[in-house]
Amino acid sequence: MKLQELNKLFSFLESDSRPLGLNNELMFKLLATTGMRRQELVDLLWEQVNLNN
């Protein structure tokens, strides 16, 4: 995926006001910016998230 396409996807997700819009935005941003695999995201626990970094 090209950077321009990714920015377009992020813009759409940021403007999505549906109930799961924020959830979808955060999942896609995590996948795209960290290199995480889908299963790693699914298995992620709150205790593993460092909100300070």
Q: 5-45 pLDDT, tens per residue?
A: 999 999 999 999 999 999 999 999 999 999 999 999 999 99
Question: Going by C-beta distance under 8 Å and a sequence separation of 6 or more, which residues neighbour residue 50?
Answer: none
- The whole-number pLDDT of residue 45 equals 94
Q: Work out the angle at residue 8's Cα, subtended by the Cα atoms of residues 6 and 10, and round it to the nearest 5 degrees.
A: 70
